[in-house]
Structure 1
Amino acid sequence: MNERKISIEQHSGIGMLWFGGWLFSIGYLNLGFWQGLLGLLIWPYFLGVHFMPVAG
């Protein structure tokens, strides 16, 4: 029989860090609910654009 190894990784720490940063940003900028929700969708894009030169 062909044995395969299964690797399970949990990355919840990074997700919690991202969520905490999002909540901090909303509170620091005094955003309302709808602006905060919009920030939830747009913030990852701007982070990706900012860190893209570093990643190569």
Structure 2
Amino acid sequence: MVTELTEKIKSSLKDAAKKLTGFKKRAFMAQVTIDYFNSSLRLAETELGWSRQAIATGLKEL
């Protein structure tokens, strides 16, 4: 299920990700991708501007 996110929520998610580093950041990005984008790396990249490679690494690390 892909959830429609408001611009305010997207901004909050991006801000939260910027404050994290390394494993914690990748894990956060991966979990958001699972929860809100049906595990679609491409959709998360398009909507939030996150690197697909970083999300993929985070998914492997979970």
- Relative to the length of structure 1, the TM-score reads 0.33
- Relative to the length of structure 2, the TM-score reads 0.31
Instruction: Identify the structure with bigger relative contact order (alpha carbons < 8 Å, sequence gap 6+).
Output: 2
